[in-house]
Amino acid sequence: MKKLILISFVFVVLSCIIFTSCNEDTTPPKLYWYNSAGDIVKTGDTTVLLYTKYVDPGVYAEDNVSKEADITIVNDAATVLSVTTDGYLRRTGDYVITYTAEDAEGNKAEYFRNIYIRNITEPFIKSYATTRNTLHLAETTYNSSVSADNRIPGRLRFPKVYAHTWDGSKTYFRVNADLFNPQNLSSSFSETISFMGTKSDKETPFFKDLTYEQGVDTALSFVMLKIDAQEYEDTAGVVSVYIQGVTDQVTDYPKSRIEYLSNSKTITRIVLELNVTKAGVVDKVTEVYIPND
């Protein structure tokens, strides 16, 4: 009888141990990504506009034991993304936000969301065949890759303006050109957002509530490029140079422009109309940029 009781006791103890071991929770939570529309998607990768406020689309947590309310989720977006005092994203680039999910049993897992911050000028970033005509230099053609400023929304950077040879040395200038729409947007310059402000507030970007897709689509409605006076020492280190966009004498609007295929948003060419003052001599310059693709 005693042996039977002992055997029964051992069986019960072993059953408890086995049962406890089999039901120990060692599985961390699983995260699923939401997109800006609130749909669950396969990847958390997100592209946003420079100088907008980043709003995390959010995540959905699931665990084999813990309820969703008992799962803790934290991320490091506040330290990864550089923002202004007003909360605007201040620099373009590719960033990774790390999410840590922890269930009620202390099981943790890390997940990663790629954030791509892009300038609204993104549609114009490409390689162009460039033709330069001036009063004082021979016509020439070369390739130039136009880029976007990494801090100023609406600003394009032309890296090989007025490329030529001066006293035996090759020289060129990196010129900033800003998207400009004085009819609908601010005509006053902002140090932080150029001419991307509204008529009522030059410091508030007109696209602040737009998605990346909406923003770049809107960018393809701009037809003017404003090139304010810029002073350089040329790349040969020879002499100070002033470059300024030419304006219409009647409207004072810039003549530098973006041209599109009729009734479309297909870029056919970008034209820079410039006055280049070098060694006291003013040269009238036209540069035509035709997309290589």
CA distances from 274 to 181, 242, 244, 247, 250 (A): 19, 10, 6, 9, 17
pTM: predicted TM-score of the whole model, two decimal places:
0.86
Closest CA to 172 of 293, 285, 291, 292: 285
Question: Are 217 and 86 within one domain?
Answer: no
Confidence of residue 237 (pLDDT cuts 50, 70, 90): low
Question: Are 87 and 209 within one domain?
Answer: no
Higher pLDDT, 111 or 166: 111
**Which pLDDT tens digit goes with each residue over 49-98?**
999 999 998 888 887 876 777 788 999 999 999 999 999 999 999 999 99
Mark which of 118, 153, 171 sits at the end of a domain: 118
Question: Are 64 and 178 within one domain?
Answer: no
CA distances from 283 to 162, 176, 263, 274, 275 (A): 10, 18, 34, 8, 6
Number of structural domains (the chain) is 2
CATH of residue 239's domain is: 2.40.128
Confidence of residue 235 (pLDDT cuts 50, 70, 90): low
CATH of residue 102's domain is: 2.60.40.10
Average confidence score pLDDT of the chain: 89
Q: What is the four-CA torsion angle of 195, 152, 87, 198, rounded to 10 degrees? A: 10
Supply the range of the domain harboring residue 70.
25-118
Q: Is residue 6 in a domain?
A: no
The full length of the chain comes to 293
Question: Are 228 and 285 within one domain?
Answer: yes
